[in-house]
Amino acid sequence: MKTASMAASLLIPLCLCILLLRGASAVSDQQEAGRRDSCDRIDRRIRALEPTRRVDSEAGHTELYDDRDGQLPCAGVAAARITIQRNGLLLPSYSNSPRLAYIVHGRGIVGVVIPGCPETYQETSSSSSQEQEDDERRRRGRRGDEERRRSSEGEEEEEEETSRRSFEQSIRDEHQRITTVRQGDVVAIPAGAPFWVHNDGDSPLVAISVHDVSNNANQLDQTSRRFRLAGGQARSEGRQRYGEGESSESETERGGEESYNILSGFDTELLAESMRVSPDIARKLQGRSDKRGNIVRVRRGGLRMLRPATERVTDEEMMRGANAAAAAGNGIDEAVCLMKLRENVADPMKADLYTPNGGRITVLNSQKLPVLKLIKMSVNRGVMRRNAILAPHWNINAHAAVYATSGSARLQVVSSEGRRVFDGELRRGQMVVVPQSFAVAGRAGDEGFAWVSFQTSDGAMNAPVVGKSSALRGMPADVLDNAFGVSREEARMVKFGRGQELAIFSPKSGAAARRRRSPGHRDDGVLAAPA
Amino acid sequence: MKTASMAASLLIPLCLCILLLRGASAVSDQQEAGRRDSCDRIDRRIRALEPTRRVDSEAGHTELYDDRDGQLPCAGVAAARITIQRNGLLLPSYSNSPRLAYIVHGRGIVGVVIPGCPETYQETSSSSSQEQEDDERRRRGRRGDEERRRSSEGEEEEEEETSRRSFEQSIRDEHQRITTVRQGDVVAIPAGAPFWVHNDGDSPLVAISVHDVSNNANQLDQTSRRFRLAGGQARSEGRQRYGEGESSESETERGGEESYNILSGFDTELLAESMRVSPDIARKLQGRSDKRGNIVRVRRGGLRMLRPATERVTDEEMMRGANAAAAAGNGIDEAVCLMKLRENVADPMKADLYTPNGGRITVLNSQKLPVLKLIKMSVNRGVMRRNAILAPHWNINAHAAVYATSGSARLQVVSSEGRRVFDGELRRGQMVVVPQSFAVAGRAGDEGFAWVSFQTSDGAMNAPVVGKSSALRGMPADVLDNAFGVSREEARMVKFGRGQELAIFSPKSGAAARRRRSPGHRDDGVLAAPA
Amino acid sequence: MKTASMAASLLIPLCLCILLLRGASAVSDQQEAGRRDSCDRIDRRIRALEPTRRVDSEAGHTELYDDRDGQLPCAGVAAARITIQRNGLLLPSYSNSPRLAYIVHGRGIVGVVIPGCPETYQETSSSSSQEQEDDERRRRGRRGDEERRRSSEGEEEEEEETSRRSFEQSIRDEHQRITTVRQGDVVAIPAGAPFWVHNDGDSPLVAISVHDVSNNANQLDQTSRRFRLAGGQARSEGRQRYGEGESSESETERGGEESYNILSGFDTELLAESMRVSPDIARKLQGRSDKRGNIVRVRRGGLRMLRPATERVTDEEMMRGANAAAAAGNGIDEAVCLMKLRENVADPMKADLYTPNGGRITVLNSQKLPVLKLIKMSVNRGVMRRNAILAPHWNINAHAAVYATSGSARLQVVSSEGRRVFDGELRRGQMVVVPQSFAVAGRAGDEGFAWVSFQTSDGAMNAPVVGKSSALRGMPADVLDNAFGVSREEARMVKFGRGQELAIFSPKSGAAARRRRSPGHRDDGVLAAPA
């Protein structure tokens, strides 16, 4: 054998391995990491969840959905309902897992700080000379104390103080963009990104928030941890551990433990020096004596911040603004910094799925809101009329945490063994998990039913059992005939009985109602107008 | 409603689902989510597995590979062998994890329903007027009962009945495409997709099926759950839980529990209304009194369904057909709906690797069958001649569940500590797991050895210790020399002893045999013709 | 300072963070699979780790970082420090998880064998006739024995011997490329890829090595297993199991168990035949009587191997060479085989982040070293001057295992409840884990502080609390004002106190020192030159 040809023949059959390897290194996955907590108990029984713990703050409260059935741990999620009173401020915090929040009621302002992104809202002093004077006056009042303290720290400090003072005169403030939210909005908050919320409306702001603790983004264990950047002592409401049996009890005890903001964990001297502020200020940041809780009342009538003039800016406008600012940053790719974090799912005209006399569903996935690709969650918003039927289906690639925003429905959830693990009313304010693959169906109550469903995949899919594009319709009638022991005609009834209806079916009286309405009619977002 | 416009309107609203599905299938990762179950026991001992439980049905049976060593849980897979008698039908079901099946024997028809995909096989009444008349006759016989019941439900129902009847006259049946399978085929079934199998051949259809329970697609725990869409009471054969020690025993007890199809879990009234069928039919669908099991005998001599004329359509033809139908759906991307789910790995001419007097290996990965990118599994099919040697190697990025389809081999599997955790015969019908990174080698028995290996990555790679492109050949001879304490010459013997051979090595008598054969000779797929 | 130029300079240095973030958001996910081991204990207390076990070998030793706090298991990593004496050879092995190693001291040669890649370093006999003659002489000495043994094995063997002999005369040796390493280099070793290391320098080669056991690439459990391809009996140092409480104790006992190379697990006959060597040689490979351990002394003064002429080839040269060779392989995509596996992070001129009087940080992620995309880890190298401050920050999407290479620092790590879980000195040779989301800050000691941080994401990002692009700067001053209960002026001090500083802050005396230095000054890589 010749050396040259041998070397060649050595290389040729490597194709196989290299092609494989090449595939391996290519891009990658958007399905979730396997969720490994036990789902044993959900094969037995699931119950509708009510909040079990409430943490009160100065200007609002947080209600936590704890859970003994194991449905939330099985789904790898944690849920809370947050109520912020008028003029309240939810203090900044971040978490080890991403979350989606749905605004159930009210309006407000959300600031999500994406680390590393530029402060694109900037105000220079010339823009607001009135405020500057106010500040100047206040500053003079305090100057005495500070100067006395500082003079003992040597001449270097003075130099810095001078430069800082001149700096304050040129830039009054700057921060990352803020987002206005209102009822029906979904807000996406990535893992590790701090955020705060301010209620600048006239009524309480209520949000239901679901953390995806099993998300790839979380490299800690299946515990939802909240890291508060400000605020004082609180019970550890933001840390929900899901373990086996007894540990979840011990968790409840631990729930009574004191929790502080993360700055309080640092040595005051170190913190002061790292911020170049006085130890007094550092001590205030640590907030050990602050008793206001996580939601505080904004002082002096309202939160001043930089905002575009119009109340509700279009996203295009916001992006243009940010774009221009970021463009100054030398061609940095601003994709992440500009990602839209909010989308409304309440507008009936934007529904993805509509059944006359039945209801509508609006899907929000990563196709519509690209940040969900990062967060790997999606949301469905559904509204059903009185007695309408939620068609039997299962979730193919996600769990769903379903929260009832109004009305009620009787839902049934069925396990792999054909056991009805949930059979009950889901009422306004309650939550239930429909685990992946489990079958679910239901019927809206007399007041109709509206819900928001948080799903643990950014492209959650479900498979209907009957109706359009359904499992049964995808099979030959003869398969159904033999499978169910029905006649071929009956098999066709099963396949085609619901015609073109999908997801939400009209109730029995639907046909009559249909005749009484004009064909172009759309329901108006008000629930359950009786037909 | 006209047939044509109906077909169109059927397709249009699929956008949503397909977009979702498309997102899910885009690119993606082929590394598995970390498999977190303990692999402690496999460091001690692995045994060849035989089926331990058998579930009998009317027209076939299922054999389950249970496992006390922990090798299947460590690999995150579950395995079963399914035998469908002639004219039997495996009832439709879906699972929370994807699976691959290899057809060990026989032939049949598989229908995999991809939720959200169009029913591309469609038959209108004009195409089969004979059948229509038969149906009409049968329908008249039942009409009396139905009309009596319906008249009590008011005039709306009548209207619908009328429209349904005219509908039945225009479309006789429609369903998603079906796939013919025969010995040597691999079939891929995504998580959450229902499928059914019909044996339309003359002998039993035997398939070995492996679920990848640790797959990213499964968000439930490490339990293989089967959700049956039809059929009656069964023991819970489809639910295999892998836990620690004692729980696996309690599982065996639980194996005696009754299990029903998922429709049986719903309220009969709700089911009936959601399908617009009578409660009697709904009750039949729930099948609580059905005793036939999961594999039933098809009545009236054979399953009628829509199939292209030729017995074995080429995939190109199928795709063209589906393509045309989907194209009606307004430019929807039909990639997922058209994914090929079957590939043959038995044809000796398609082998990827061939050693004269040794044997051959056919690799099926996502490069050849793109749906495997979604499923994140791959398959190797190997055939070894009498006494041929399976070269020492390890799996780099996957576990392998190896099933012997014929003959036998003596295999040795070695752990990280150099312990021989498996040393035994793997005989036809047995299975053994070769865990990731563990070294394996072996020798075919006197009747040769043929196997199929299911791997938990869609681009599974292995690394040979010796031979072409091997670990030892990749190192300088002087490293081997010093590492092993051999002479430099011996080190070169170790490196180059097997020349260009790869994966399967010819036995000692190989050189003699080689001389007796023509150089272009290929073995014929029959095992173990003694040289 | 002018406002406009300041705004610009604010944006420019964001590149780093944004590039990291961009990597993270690209297509999908590079974040790790959820790490499911309990992190319970780290919410209480973390300690600086010292090596707890030492395994001695003929020419070096390995020190293992065991851990009772659970910080390494929580982070899903395993760590070891390896010392190879002059002229020592770390024997080839592979692991079920990828690893990164940092060369703390010395220089050497690393050979990583990527299975399936061509042997691109090749030497034919004509190139070194001197060596060939030497070998020929040695070979003649042994010929007698071998021929006597072989003649009993029949004429086929003779034929092969002949072909092998002629083969040896044409190709003297060939192997995959090798990589030279020196202090400050990071080397990436993929899961399942065997590697060896030779110290060809004049002083000990010391490396700190971190395995990412929770990596997607590992489908076994959370145990770091080392599969040795050569060498004799050893205590099972390469197998570190992380379990709950007692199991980690039993592990220590198990640490005393004997471990052998994987070849020793095979039947000697089978091994001999599969390599076409004599059982005597096979027995040597199995090394059961070898007592040298994992690091052996190279005999006959140095390891001979094929190397390009220049001592330190540029990577471009290496790639060109490999490229040409691979190109012979018929257009195979050689991307994986050509991936660079080494990068230096010690050069001060390549620092990504530099603060005068503070220090510098060099980031090595998949943007710089693409193989990290496969390995899903990254590295930071930091050097801080005496008393400089490590700015408070948290890791957004990764754990960090921080190893002190020289000097010391006082570090504080804070949990979600504001508890200071670590508060201590981290000294040269010690390691501590900073878990994802936990806040960390610190101050270099009097000798300065240099560290290398291994992170469990290939695009690890961190979020500073204060300073440029920080969390607090991203929020409106009024939010801070209300959150902390400070004046608006104080809020601005908090936001802007550190001006443009990022990550490493100069100590209090910084301003004075700054005046004494020229603006273009860069520190010289020597730690802690007192200002």
Beta carbons of C147 and C308 less than 8 angstroms apart: no
Where is pLDDT greater, at C256 or B334? Answer: B334
CB contact under 8 A, B392 and C284: no
Say how far apart CA A297 and CA B229 lie, in whole Å.
55
The set of residues, in sequence order, having a beta carbon less than 8 Å from that of A507 and lying 6+ positions away, is A357, A358, A385, A386, A387, A388, A389, A443, B273
Q: Cα separation of C172 and B489, whole Å?
A: 10
ipTM: 0.80
Q: C 360-389 residues with CB below 8 A of B?
A: none
Q: Which residues pair with C462 in a beta bridge?
A: C395
Residue of B nearest to C256 (CA): B417
Q: What angle do CA B426, B431, B435 make, to 5 degrees?
A: 100
**Cβ–Cβ pairs < 8 A, chains B and C:** 276
Q: At what angle do helices A488-496 and B155-170 cross, to 10 degrees?
A: 110
Instruction: Report CA Rg, chain A.
Output: 28
User: Would the pLDDT of B257 be above 70?
Assistant: no
Report d(CA B52, CA B45) in Å as an integer.
18
Q: How far apart are the first and last CA of chain B?
A: 69
Which string of DSSP letters, residue by residue, matches C188-202? EE-TT--EEEE--SS
The mean pLDDT of chain B is 78
Cβ A463–B236 below 8 Å, yes or no? Answer: no
> In the numeric block, which tokens belong to residue A343?
């989308």
Structure tokens at B432: 């053994």
State the DSSP string of C93-129.
Answer: EEESS-EEEEEEE-EEEEEE--TT----EEEEGGGGH
pTM of the complete model? 0.82
Least confident of B445-449, B512-516, C166-170, C294-298: B512-516
Name residue, tokens 């304490």.
Answer: B485
Interface test with B, best of A368, A411, A423, A478 (most B CBs within 10 A): A478
Residues 6+ apart with CB under 8 A from B113: A471, A474, A475, B92, B176, B193, B194, B195
Q: Which of residues 492-511 of A touch B (CB under 8 A)?
A: 492-500, 502, 505, 507-511
The pLDDT of residue C125 is: 59
Token pair for A409 = 């429905």
Instruction: Tell me: pLDDT of B36 over 60.
Output: no
**Assigned token pair, B256:** 């005696």
Write out residues in chain A with pLDDT < 70, as ranges: 1-37, 124-171, 235-257, 308-334, 509-531
Percent of chain A clearing pLDDT 90 (strictly above):
55
Q: In the prediction, which pLDDT does C171 show?
A: 65
Tokens 């190709």 correspond to C171
Q: Is B156 on the interface with A (CB under 8 A)?
A: yes
List the single best residue of C74, C224, C262, C291 to mutate versus B (max B Cβ within 10 A): C262
Which residue, A329, A336, A384, is CA-closest to A359? A384
Chain A: give the shortest CA distance to residue C414, in Å.
Answer: 5
pLDDT: which is higher, B426 or B356 = B426
Query: Which of A160, A193, A275 comes nearest C466 by C-beta?
Result: A275
Give the minimum alpha-carbon distance from C407 to chain B in angstroms, rounded to a whole number.
37
Domain ranges of chain B: 3-23+50-120+176-260+291-325, 345-467+502-516
CA distance C46 to chain B (A): 24
Going by C-beta distance under 8 Å and a sequence separation of 6 or more, which residues neighbour residue B71?
B41, B42, B46, B49, B432, B433, B435
Please indicate whether, in this complex, the C-beta atoms of B394 and C227 are within 8 angstroms of each other.
yes
The pLDDT score that the predictor gives to residue A69 is 75
Q: Give chains near B: 3+ CB pairs under 8 A.
A: A, C
Residues B425/C209, Cβ–Cβ less than 8 Å: no
Strand-pairing partners, residue B440, are B393, B413
Q: Is B170 on the interface with A (CB under 8 A)?
A: no
- Say if A242 is an interface residue toward chain C (CB within 8 Å): no
pLDDT of residue B171: 64
pLDDT attached to residue B235: 62
User: Under an 8 A CB cutoff, do A270 and C389 touch?
Assistant: yes
pLDDT of residue C222: 84
Q: In angstroms, what separates the C-alpha of A443 from chain C's closest C-alpha?
A: 37
CB contact under 8 A, A119 and C497: no
CATH topology of A41-120+176-326 equal to that of A345-467+502-516? yes
CATH number of A41-120+176-326: 2.60.120.10
Please report the pLDDT score of residue A477 as a whole number: 92
CA dihedral A31, A35, A39, A43 (to 10 degrees): 10
Contacts of residue A89 in chain C, CB cutoff 8 Å?
479, 482-483
Q: In CATH, which superfamily holds the domain spanning C41-120+176-327?
A: Jelly Rolls (2.60.120.10)
C417 Cα to chain A: minimum distance (Å)? 4
Q: At what angle do helices C488-496 and C477-484 cross, to 10 degrees?
A: 110
pLDDT score of B174: 86
Residue B146 reports pLDDT greater than 60: no
The CATH code belonging to domain B345-467+502-516 is: 2.60.120.10
Quote the CA–CA distance of B77 and B97 in Å, as a whole number: 9
Site of tokens 């059944």: A355
Contacts of C482 in chain A (CB under 8 A): 89, 296, 298-299, 303
For C:83-142, CB contacts with A below 8 A are 114-119, 122, 124
In words, the CATH class of domain B3-23+50-120+176-260+291-325 is mainly beta
Residues 6+ apart with CB under 8 A from B147: none
Contacts of B300 (CB under 8 A, 6+ apart): none
Rounded to whole angstroms, the Cα distance separating B332 from B327 reads 7
- Tokens, residue A453: 């469903």
Structure tokens at A210: 């679901």
User: What is residue C309's predicted lDDT score, i.e. its pLDDT?
Assistant: 56
Q: List the single residue in B28, B171, B502 with the smallest CB-CB distance to A13.
A: B502
In chain C, % helix, strand, coil (3-state, to 5) comes to 30, 30, 40
Neighbours of chain C (3+ CB pairs under 8 A): A, B
- Residues near B335 by Cβ (< 8 Å), separated by ≥ 6? B22, B25
- Tokens coding B490: 């011996």
Q: Which of A346, A326, A345 is nearest to A335 (CA)?
A: A326
List the pLDDT tens digit at each of the 531 positions of chain C.
344 444 434 333 333 333 333 333 332 333 334 444 578 888 888 999 999 999 999 999 999 998 777 899 899 999 999 999 999 999 999 999 999 999 999 999 999 999 888 888 877 654 444 444 444 444 444 444 444 444 444 444 444 444 444 444 456 788 898 999 999 999 999 999 999 999 999 999 999 999 999 898 999 988 889 999 999 887 655 444 444 333 333 333 344 467 899 999 999 999 999 999 999 999 999 999 999 999 999 987 778 877 765 544 444 444 444 444 443 333 334 578 889 999 999 999 999 999 988 999 999 999 999 999 999 999 999 999 999 999 999 999 999 999 999 999 999 999 999 999 999 999 999 999 999 999 999 999 999 999 999 999 999 999 999 998 899 999 999 999 999 999 989 999 999 988 888 889 998 754 444 434 433 333 333 333 333
d(CA B69, CA A500): 51
- Cβ pair C490:A262 closer than 8 A: no
Return the pLDDT at A287.
93
Ordered DSSP codes for C308-338: -SSSS--HHHHHHHHHHHHHTTTT---TTTT
| Alpha carbons B35 and C278: distance in angstroms, whole number | 40
Is residue B412 scored above 90 in pLDDT?
yes
CA distance B128 to A507: 35
More confident residue, B93 or C45: B93
Name the phi and psi angles at C169, rounded to 5. Answer: -75, -25
Residue B299 has pLDDT above 90, yes or no: no
- The topology under which CATH files domain C8-34+345-467+502-515 is Jelly Rolls (2.60.120)
pLDDT of residue B173: 85
Residue written as tokens 């390494």? C72
- Residue C479 to chain A, least CA–CA distance (Å): 7
Q: How does pLDDT run across B461-510, given as a tens digit for each residue?
A: 999 999 988 999 999 999 999 999 999 899 999 999 888 888 899 987 54
